[in-house]
Amino acid sequence: MRIAVYGGSFNPPHPAHVRAARLAYEALAPDRLLIMPAADPPHKALAEGSPSPEERFELTKLAFRAFPEAEVSALELQRGGESYTSDTVTQLAAAYPGAELWLIVGTDMLTSFEQWHEYRRILEHAALCVLPRDEGDLPEIERCAERFRELYGARVRVINAAPLPMSSSGMRGLLVSRRGADELDGEVYARIIRLRDYGAKPQLDWLRERAYAYLKPKRIPHVAGCEQEAAKLAKRWGEDPGDAAEAGILHDITKKLSMEEQLILAEKYGIVFDKFERENIKLTHAITGAALSRELFGVPERIYSAIRWHTTGRADMSLLEKIIYIADYIEPTRDFEGVERLRQLAYENIDSAMALGLKMSLEELRQSGIEPHGATVSALAWYGKDKV
């Protein structure tokens, strides 16, 4: 029986990991290919913001789901403690007496192999299958492999394949800068965003595509305009434009739902509507939209709150909350009496713009015979009529 083992932190797992495993599988033709996420990699500390070992295991299962010959193993997670490869190959050798074990490694792992914990014990039990990580690695791999054969009688097989230039550290850098959707497996990326692993922030074009699917087509220009205006206001007032754009993209995600559908979502998320909200569907979508955005895309509290209060406003709003409230009001498709004055004021004094916007909103409600929500009344009292 031939067993190949491909271990690592998989933090996060990416297409180069899958490609390396496929290349090794094709070269070795093992009876079993074990993908082995480490519980606690002893050779380096996991990057700040890394998810738990259990979460990396789930991400790895997703990454390899289209490769049925690969078995993602929880052996090192179940064993606990530092994930020494020497313990893993010893455990496998005992579990499968007489099996031919192969350990799949990359260039950096081979060149540092003699620093591994009990590396001689590893070589007693397993052969090495080596793949280049970068262009030009092969000469160094061949020299190192030959030395290992001479010094330790090691069995080393070198796979001459073009490397896929990709690293987990590089992926983590992309994720925090609103990139990575085009590089990572789709389901891996979606889970990372939903759980906000690595401090990830969604790539905005990826988020638009998914959020727009929840909208009526005629609402998309408004949402696109709100995103655009929110990002501009964020730059003007020193807020994060990406966070403002994210809130703008998501602010109306449940707008098209009927009151019955809003109530179903409210029950799901444990939301209790007050009497104003039960009587006015325009108020409910901000609340359920914030909750759905958290479930689907893991929005942090500050973006959740900006979505939550974008319709009524409230007293003492955060800067991001004010930006989304105003952006929703003045985005380019809006056309009503007084909008140009409100647009101008939004870039001169955002609190004064809040006061004017709230005053206009209350006036519109009263003209329609609708009793305003208490949060809106409190917001206007906070920002003050004297600021208009």
CATH classification of the domain holding 297: 1.10.3210.10
pTM attached to this predicted model: 0.94
Q: Which of the residue ranges 215-219, 226-230, 367-371 would you say has the lowest mean pLDDT?
A: 367-371
Q: Is the domain of 229 the same as that of 112?
A: no
Q: Which pLDDT score, from 0 to 100, does residue 369 have?
A: 84
Summarised one tens digit per residue, pLDDT across range 83-124 is: 899 999 999 999 999 999 999 998 888 889 899 999 999 999
Q: Is the domain of 172 the same as that of 216?
A: no
Q: Would 181 be classed as within a structural domain?
A: no
Q: Which pLDDT score, from 0 to 100, does residue 170 have?
A: 94
Q: Would 151 be classed as within a structural domain?
A: yes
Q: Is the domain of 65 the same as that of 210?
A: no
CATH classification of the domain holding 118: 3.40.50.620
* Selected residue with higher pLDDT from 42 and 167: 167
Q: Is the domain of 235 the same as that of 372?
A: yes
Q: Is the domain of 213 the same as that of 134?
A: no
Q: Is the domain of 148 the same as that of 296?
A: no
Q: Which pLDDT score, from 0 to 100, does residue 318 have?
A: 98
The residue range of the domain holding 236 is: 203-387
Q: Would 186 be classed as within a structural domain?
A: no
Burial, 261: exposed, middle or buried (Cβ in 10 Å; 0-12, 13-18, 19+)? middle
pLDDT above 70 for 178:
yes
Q: Would you say 210 and 187 are in contact if contact means Cβ atoms under 8 Å apart?
A: no
What share of the chain in percent tops pLDDT 90?
82
State how far the Cα of 175 lies from the Cα of 169, in Å rounded to an integer.
10
State how far the Cα of 223 lies from the Cα of 106, in Å rounded to an integer.
46
Q: Tell me the average pLDDT across 181-201.
A: 97
Please give the order of strands across the beta sheet that includes 126-131: 70-72, 32-37, 2-8, 100-106, 126-131, 156-158
Q: Tell me the average pLDDT across 319-346.
A: 96
Q: How many residues does the chain have?
A: 388
The number of domains in the chain is 2
Q: Is the domain of 213 the same as that of 350?
A: yes
* Selected residue with higher pLDDT from 164 and 61: 61
Q: Is the domain of 15 the same as that of 112?
A: yes
Q: Is the domain of 264 the same as that of 314?
A: yes
Q: Would 193 be classed as within a structural domain?
A: no
Q: Tell me the average pLDDT across 158-163.
A: 86
pLDDT above 60 for 388:
no
Summarised one tens digit per residue, pLDDT across range 240-261 is: 999 999 999 999 999 999 999 9
Q: Which pLDDT score, from 0 to 100, does residue 296 have?
A: 98
Q: Would 305 be classed as within a structural domain?
A: yes
Summarised one tens digit per residue, pLDDT across range 54-66 is: 999 999 999 999 9
Return the biggest CA–CA distance within the chain: 91
CA of 264: how far to CAs of 135, 254, 271, 294, 373, in Å? Answer: 55, 12, 10, 16, 22
Q: Is the domain of 152 the same as that of 65?
A: yes
Number of H helices, E strands in the chain: 20, 6
Q: Is the domain of 263 the same as that of 379?
A: yes
* 8 backbone dihedrals φ, ψ, rounded to 5°: 165, 175
* 113 backbone dihedrals φ, ψ, rounded to 5°: -60, -35
Q: What is the mean pLDDT of the chain?
A: 94
pLDDT above 50 for 161:
yes
pLDDT above 60 for 208:
yes
Q: Would 195 be classed as within a structural domain?
A: no
Confidence label for 49 from pLDDT (cuts 50, 70 and 90): confident
Q: Which pLDDT score, from 0 to 100, does residue 386 have?
A: 52
Summarised one tens digit per residue, pLDDT across range 268-300 is: 999 999 988 888 888 999 999 999 999 999 999
For residue 205, which amino acid is it? D
Q: Would 48 be classed as within a structural domain?
A: yes
Q: Which pLDDT score, from 0 to 100, does residue 351 have?
A: 96
Q: Is the domain of 341 the same as that of 298?
A: yes
Q: Would 191 be classed as within a structural domain?
A: no
